[in-house]
Chains A and B, each alone.
Chain A
Amino acid sequence: METRSRAEPQFPASPAFPVGKMVARRRKRVAGDLEAGVPSPPGYYAIPIKFSAKQRASHYLYVREHRVREGTQSAWPQKRTLFVLNVPPYCNEECLTRLLSPCGTVQSVELQEKPDLAESAKEPKSKFFHPTPIPGFQVAYVVFQKPSGVSAALTLKGPLLVSTESHPVKSGIHKWISDYADSVTDPEALRVEVDTFMEAYDQKIAAEEEKAKEEEGVPDEEGWVKVTRRGRRPVLPRTEAASLRVLEKEKRKRARKELLNFYAWQHRETKMEHLAQLRKKFEEDKQRIELMRAQRKFRPY
């Protein structure tokens, strides 16, 4: 791991260097990099990727074989999975499949916001209720059918083109208009979705209630009986708010019984307390004044 401070001394501080020249130098260096092979972090292989042939500069996908430490669970099959970093926002699953299929048949592509070992163990979310967020740069897990796909991908030269004549990818106005069209929902489909969900939900609730009813009043192995709200004598719900309320009530009851200003020491103490309050206020005020003075807030001109 290198740090910034170690990287710094590399640059000679030469104030006379004209800016324009530096830019030129930078360009040249990039070109040189391309000839010599793109630098890539250890263990990764860099594949240039561009939106289309028109672009001059390219992003780099950093790819490696997906590996996990011994004993760690991973949802993706070892050997066959390619781990891809820095996938540009305009490159979606379909597009990535197309770009990597020359290396071998792609079984699945999963795009994620950040590296995550456990495959998102989710059933497909409803598009009505969970709209997909706007993508940024993502990471991808690409599962090939054969391990050879991975090794082939690790030698891809690139640059990969996201949008080509045969497979254009929409961007800008095109994309927004089609997104808008997609956002106009079909009420029938929505109705069907809601109905199926609610049916399943009702069944689930009914089953739960059934179970609760069966358990009602039946002692478990150790002989404990579960008391619920639905029983014959409903009890206080077990919520934090309710328990706090009870505590508060107790406290008030106790406070009512207490006598104030009865003993001489109590009297003395209230006086002292008052003085302490004043002192504290005074200190606070002094601090405020100090601050205001620092901000030169006492100049009426």
Chain B
Amino acid sequence: MGPAPTGQQLRGATGGPEVIEPSFEGTGKKGKKPSSRKRGVTESQAENLLQPVKLSKAELYKEPTNEELNRLRETEILFHSSLLRLQVEELLKEVRLSEKKKDRIDAFLLEVNHRIKRVPSTPESELTDQAWLPAGIRVPFHQVPYTVKGSFHFLPPAQVTVVGSYLLGTCIRPDITVDMALTMPREILQDKDLLNQRYFRKRALYLAHLAHHLAQDPLFGSVRFSYTNGCHMKPSLLLRPHGKDERLVTVRLHPCPPSDFFRPCRLLPTKNNVRSAWYRGQSPPEDGKPDPPTPHYNTWVLQDTALGSHVQLLSNVLGSAPGLKDGVALLKVWLRQRELDKGLGGFSGFLISMLVAFLVSTRKIHTTMSGYQVLRSVLQFLATTDLTVNGISLCLSSDPSLPALADFHQAFPVVFLDPSGRLNLCADVTASTYHQVQHEARLSMTLLDSKTDDGFQLLLMTPKPMIRAFDHVLHLRPLSRLQAACHQLKLWPELQDNGGDYISASLGPLTTLLEKGLGSRLQLLAHSRPPVPEWDINQDPPKHKDSGTLTLGLLLQPEGLTTVLELGPEADQPEAVEFRQFWGSRSELRRFQDGAIREAVVWEAASLCQKRLIPHKVVTHLLALHADIPDNCVHYVGGFLDALLQGLKETSSTGEEALAVAICYYDDLSRMLWGLEGLPLTVSAVQGAHPVLRYTEVFPPTPVQPACSFYEQLRERASLLPRLDKPCPAYVEPISMVCHLEGSGQWPQEAEAIRRVRAAFQLRLAELLRQQHGLLCRATATHTDVLKDGFVFRIRVAYQREPQILKEVRSPQGMISLRDTPESLRLERDTRHLPLLTSALHGLQQQHPAFSGVARLAKRWVRAQLLGEGFSDESLDLVAAALFLHPEPFTPPSSPQVGFLRFLSLVSTFDWKNNPLIVNLNNELTAEEQVEIRSSFLAARTRLPVMVIITPQDRKSSVWTQDGPSAQILQQLVILAAKALPVLEKQLMDPWGPGDIRTVFRPPLDMYDVLIHLYARHIPRHRQAVDSPAASFCRGLLNKPGPSSLMPVLGYDPPQLYLAQLRAAFGDLALFFYDQHGGEVIGVLWKPTSFQPQPFKASSTKGHMVVSQSGELVLLPNIEAILEDFAVMGEGLVQAVEARSERWTV
């Protein structure tokens, strides 16, 4: 910012450092996300707006060429739509390697090949004698137990071949890796190398020597170790080029034995190759029990021997079929977005390529298919085939010496055999991972089949991180605890098989345990795969316990969450013992109403929020009981955000129950209205029109019982008034409802007269309710307030035809036409749209119990960011509803936490400028209608508000966003959401606790020009603040409810009254921001445009003063007087007016 005198002029041109500011200078269109800075700043914003396409007639109807027809036909046959085809093509362009880069990589590979061949050989020595290794190099292997027989010497590899996706042309950016297989010469290996990890240790030593020599070569920028697919028995060496190409490519070296060195029959899943005697250091088994089979160990050896043949197979299948290659690339992107491809037991790109090869061999995929079709077929296959039960095999031979599929099912959870029939490609994939893949495939298939959504975007471009995909997440830490768990679960054979990797060994049994325990509450359980570490060659390989944390994601079943009972078998049945064992001390004998005596587990949970957290109890109980993992090692992330919805005193509920109580009283009252006798016209409908009645009021109302001494009493009107000498009384917001009266010829046909008749009805209603039900009522011209059991309801009488009468315009010819007027629109919104929306969302809550929590958290957050005034209550509710009605690519959220994260993600990524948010309530809109809505949206874009939300009841105008937000406010919300999302996700994914969960709810205050601090004494909702005050004022309420003869003070909220005055007086000059839930500060932002000196005009003097600038008289805002006005108008409420920037200085 320049010096003060020029500040004002500069401001218009450059914009200050404030976040919100740049958008003020825009032309009213939404600004771009910061990520788009690559595009020129000068680019006009209009270019980001989709324009309706205009093609000349000649262009539309010219003769088609053959080529064009072919392309159109191809699109129709091979793809969903032309848009999808274009999208897929663009995506492939983005992830494919360019030819230029390929050339550079090829050159690098050639160099690598030469260098490897030149590595000198070493003299022979014992395996345990590693003194020959140079000092700076550590063996990339956990040599436990250390003693092992055999000898080793280094010889340059017999053969160096490139294998894997780079060769096949299916590798995708980023992180291009090229796999190189180094065939170790036979001379290095010995006969019995298969036994007791000898082969793997040789492999590691081989790499260590290589690493030492290659690290001295200036060609390489970095030489590091890593694990192949996360398998800690098989280190690999990573080479990256030096200089600017460092990020270009990573070459991974895999030593492997000559393909026929090991006898395949020794490596069957039933065979043992790690002797217990050696592994556990015991003397030979005393009881003569055979050593347990080591299927995983065997598989890892087999994988090394089969590298070449697999590449051969894949290049045969994919080689000449570009469609298949596209398909594999798409599938890889699909897996990567779901975080399924990484780590030990991930569904890697290699696996998916083999699956494509399998489907080609079974003729489910044809080589002429397009990439999209391949993607579809594979997903279809995955969705419908359960490899955990029915394994598949690429092996065509019917050799009887080959093991049966059943053998593999015994040893592995998921079975997919390679062409040799001996190697299970899915050996490391756990059942949960496979089920997750299946679940994702199923979701994706339904998405592809539905025509309404942009499948491409949701399928391939939307990341699904665990914290956003799963309702609850739990972290197990420290990982070393799992070692004890392995012992408790008696997993010694598995440990032996996995070479001491207690995480992989215990993962399967643990997930099975939890799945069984969570039962009907659980839809899907997924676990994170430990990340693949990388380390320097002079360091020891990372220990198992250092590989981060184990994170489990729970996808909950909303129906299962409602029960607190785990019903077991009848007491006298044999299963009862098993049940008792499983649940331990929690299992009790209970007698049920039907007379049965059963084993059962009952969890204490009264409220919905406690019921939602029963899985937490189940998990900690079972882990402690069966796996010896105490509850302080389980960090359960599911209910941290609940605190923001809980009242100060009430910590056991998130308010759904309180809302249900209010709704119950509402039902009572509406029944009374139906049955009212003596009304001249009958009631035709009673409808709710308040957030309470659709479960989305952030803080549910509580029954009020005013302490009369606290108030001024207005006896003759049976009302209480606030008193000057007391703090502001409790805020009571009446719950509004609409009461429709039947149509009749008696209704007058003139707006003013209808108003009077309605008022008469309001009076009459009050009178009748008082007479017939003894309720305290107070009528005004537009509504009747009714006090019922401590809740105040506001009944508005409505007449169906009134909006229409307001709309009628009579032309000079006497023709009556209907034209919308602001008044008619408002009336229609309040008496027609609002009740419909309220009932639709009330219904949604019945289907999805988490809706209330999500909507209220979302609203709470928006308001806490001081942006609440810009967004109508209903618009935010609808955005929250969209998360449930259109969850793709996720499933509808079952916990407020995940729903809120998705709310942030939706708000920050949705392209509000080019898309309407369609909220298909009750599924009333068909796919065709939605397409039509989208196209008419484009045509009418400029006339629509910045944020467009379409519902079946409101297909054109977006009623709830008509009055805001403005482009700037929406932009600000988008920015804030984009910032809050990663912060919150990081907090929740932190295994050691979220820290302060309220961080993202605190608004940034540094962007405001003026802060108006308020006295807490006059903020009635002070206790609702994000950081709830330790002490607040008495608000004139009694603790125990009872009958009251005086109407409490309704809707009296001094900060809101103050804001209304400020906006009326200074709305042209500034924006005012405030958190209605107990905010203590009002943020004021001057509008830059109003600080331009303006020529004098009688209509624009408001709050301005005339100043002479170089002899000319101009108008400028009279800032000093205005700042004093802030204090004057809020006398008693305003504590201080803090002017923070001097930007307004002239």
Residue of B nearest to A186 (CB): B717
Give Cα A287 to B1124, complex, Å.
53
Q: Which residues of B contact A181 (CB under 8 A)?
A: 712, 714, 721
Residues of A within 8 A of B748 (CB): 201, 205
Cβ proximity bits A186-208 to B, threshold 8 Å, 1 near / 0 not: 11001101100110010001000
Which of the candidate stretches A15-23, A73-81, A144-152, A253-261 sits at the interface with the other chain?
A15-23
Determine whether the beta carbon of A299 is less than 8 Å from that of B1106: no
Contact stretch, chosen from B204-212, B855-863, B1097-1105: B1097-1105
Contacts of A237 in B (CB 8 A): 816
**Does A284 belong to the interface (CB within 8 Å)?**
yes
Looking at the complex, which one of B82, B750, B1052, B1128 makes contact with A176 (CB distance below 8 Å)?
B1052
CB-based contact A171/B461 at 8 Å: no
Interface bits B1119-1146 vs A (CB < 8 Å: 1, else 0): 0110111001111111000000010011
Chain A neighbourhood of B405, CB < 8 A: none
Is B398 at the interface (CB under 8 A from chain A)? Answer: no
Whether B82 lies near A282 (C-beta < 8 A) is: yes
Asked if B532 is at the interface of the complex by the 8 Å CB criterion, the answer is no
A11 touches which of B6, B64, B1095 (Cβ 8 Å): B6
B630 within 8 A of A: no
- Give the chain A neighbours of B1129 by CB distance below 8 A: 89-90, 171-172
Answer whether residue A68 sits at the interface, using C-beta atoms and an 8 A cutoff: no
Tell which of B143-151, B364-372, B385-393, B1109-1117 binds the partner: B1109-1117
- Interfacial chain A residues near B1061, Cβ < 8 Å: 89, 134
A3 within 8 A of B: yes
Within 8 Å by CB of B38, from A179, A241, A296, A300, lies A296
The reply to whether A85 and B781 form a contact with Cβ atoms under 8 Å apart is: no
Asked whether, in the complex, the Cβ of A17 is within 8 Å of the Cβ of B336, the reply is no
Contact of A14 with B1124 in the complex, beta carbons under 8 Å = no
Within the complex, which residue of A115, A176, A276, A283 is in contact with B1057, where a contact is CB–CB below 8 Å? A176
Chain A window 233-245, contacts with chain B (Cβ cutoff 8 Å), 1 for yes, 0 for no: 0000111110100
Given A128-B780, A281-B82, A285-B82, also A194-B90 (CB < 8 A): no
Query: What residues on B are CB-neighbors of A284 within 8 Å?
Result: 53
A184 close to B714 (CB less than 8 A): yes
Residue among A172, A191, A272 with most chain B CB within 10 A: A172
Q: Given A172-B1133, A299-B94, A180 and B722 touching (CB < 8 A)?
A: yes
In the bound complex, residues from chain A placing their C-beta under 8 Å from that of B1058 are 172, 176
Among candidates B4, B47, B1093, B1094, residue contacting A23 with C-beta atoms closer than 8 Å? B4
CA distance A59 to B82 in the complex (A): 64
- Segment 64-123 of A: residues with Cβ below 8 Å from B: 85-86, 88-90, 114-115
Asked whether A22 lies within 8 Å of B336 as measured between CB atoms, the reply is no
Q: Do the beta carbons of B55 and A279 come within 8 Å of each other?
A: yes
Question: 1/0 per residue B1-19: CB within 8 Å of A?
Answer: 0111110010000000000
Q: Is the CB of B1054 within 8 A of A300?
A: no
Give the residue among A38, A238, A282 with the most B Cβ atoms within 10 A. Answer: A282
Give every chain A residue within 8 A of B755 (Cβ-Cβ): 129
What B residues does A23 contact at CB under 8 A?
Answer: 4, 1142, 1145
- Contact yes or no, B1109 A7, CB < 8 A: yes
Residues of B within 8 A of A177 (CB): 721-724
Interface size on B, as a range, is: 35 or more
Please, how many angstroms separate the alpha-carbon atoms of A59 and B1128 in the complex?
Answer: 13
Q: Could you say which of A17, A22, A41, A128 contacts B1113, with CB atoms under 8 Å apart? A: A41
Given A90-B1128, A285-B83, A289-B86, A137 and B1101 contact (CB-CB distance below 8 Å): yes
Contact residue among B6, B460, B759 (Cβ-Cβ distance under 8 Å from A300): B460
CB pair B1131 A137 closer than 8 Å: no
Residues in chain A near residue B1095, CB distance under 8 A: 1-3
Q: Which residue of A lies closest to B728 (CB)?
A: A173
Contact A173 B1131 (CB under 8 A): yes
A7 CB contact (under 8 Å) in B4, B724, B1093: B1093
Give the complex CA separation of A176 and B1122 in angstroms. 20
Report the Cα distance A14→B51, complex, angstroms.
45
Instruction: Take A2-B1095, A173-B1133 as given contacts and tell me if A7 and B1110 are in contact as well, using a CB distance cutoff of 8 Å.
Output: yes
Query: What residues on A are CB-neighbors of B818 within 8 Å?
Result: 239-241
A117 to chain B, nearest CB (A): 12
B750 with A19: CB separation less than 8 A? no
The reply on B709 being an interface residue by CB < 8 A is: no
A164 within 8 A of B: no
Does B760 sit within 8 A of A, measured CB to CB? yes
Is B912 part of the contact surface with A, judged by Cβ < 8 Å? Answer: no
Residues of B within 8 A of A124 (CB): none
List of A residues within 8 angstroms of B396 by Cβ: none
Known: A51-B1125, A60-B1118, A239-B816. A136 touches B1067 (CB 8 A): yes
Q: Is the CB of B1146 within 8 A of A288?
A: no
Please pick, from B2, B753, B1065, the residue contacting A197 in the complex, using a CB distance under 8 A.
B753
The interface centre, meaning the residue of A15, A186, A279 with most chain B CB atoms within 10 A of its CB, is A279
- From B32, B87, B1098, give the contact of A115 (CB < 8 A): B1098
- Pairwise interchain contact B48-A291, C-beta atoms closer than 8 A: yes
> Hey, which chain A residues are within 8 Å of B1052, CB to CB?
176, 180
- Bound: A289/B82 CA distance, A: 11
B714 / chain A contacts, CB cutoff of 8 Å: 181, 184
Indicate with 1 or 0, residue by residue over B61-99, a CB within 8 angstroms of chain A CB atoms: 100100000001000000001110011001101110000
Task: Give the shortest distance, in Å, between B713 (CB) and chain A (any CB).
Answer: 11
A contact residues around B83 at 8 Å (CB): 281, 285, 288-289
Contact B759 A129 (CB under 8 A): yes
Closest to A57 in B: B1120
Given contacts A114-B1099, A280-B53, A301-B174, contact A172 B86 (CB under 8 A): no
| Beta-carbon contact of A137 and B1109 below 8 Å | no
Given A180-B721, A187-B766, A287-B53, check contact A10 B1110 (CB 8 Å). Answer: yes
* A51 touching B1128 in the complex, CB below 8 Å, given contacts A198-B757, A300-B461: yes
Task: Flag if B1131 contacts A174 (CB, 8 Å).
Answer: yes
Residues on the B chain within 8 Å of A289, using CB: 83, 86-87, 90
Known: A11-B5, A19-B1142, A176-B1057. A239 touches B1110 (CB 8 A): no
Asked if B1060 is at the interface (CB within 8 A of a chain A CB), the reply is: yes
Mark B776-799 against chain A: 1 for CB-CB distance below 8 A, else 0.
Answer: 001111000000000000000000
Whether A198 contacts B756 by the Cβ 8 Å rule is yes
- Report A-chain residues with C-beta under 8 Å of the C-beta of B173: 301
7 A-B pairs with the lowest CB-CB distances in the bound complex, closest first: A172-B1131, A22-B4, A173-B1132, A137-B1102, A57-B1120, A240-B817, A17-B3
13 A-B residue pairings within 8 Å (CB atoms): A2-B1113, A4-B1093, A13-B6, A18-B3, A57-B1120, A60-B1106, A129-B781, A134-B1064, A176-B1052, A177-B721, A191-B763, A198-B760, A289-B87
**Hey, which bits of chain B sit against chain A, CB under 8 A?**
2-6, 9, 32, 35-36, 38-39, 47-48, 50-51, 53, 55, 59-61, 64, 72, 81-83, 86-87, 90-91, 93-95, 173-174, 333, 336-337, 457, 460-461, 712, 714, 717, 719, 721-724, 748, 750, 752-753, 755-757, 759-760, 763, 766, 778-781, 814-818, 911, 914, 1018, 1049, 1052, 1054, 1057-1058, 1060-1061, 1064-1067, 1092-1096, 1098-1099, 1101-1110, 1112-1114, 1118, 1120-1121, 1123-1125, 1128-1134, 1142, 1145-1146
Binding site for B on A (CB under 8 A): 1-4, 6-8, 10-19, 22-23, 26, 30, 38-42, 46, 50-52, 55-60, 62, 85-86, 88-90, 114-115, 128-129, 133-137, 139, 171-174, 176-177, 179-181, 184-187, 190-191, 193-194, 197-198, 201, 205, 237-241, 243, 272, 275-276, 278-289, 291-301
**Known A51-B1124, A243-B815; 14 more pairs at CB < 8 Å:** A17-B4, A19-B1145, A26-B1145, A41-B1113, A42-B1113, A90-B1128, A133-B1064, A179-B1057, A180-B722, A187-B779, A198-B760, A205-B748, A237-B816, A289-B86
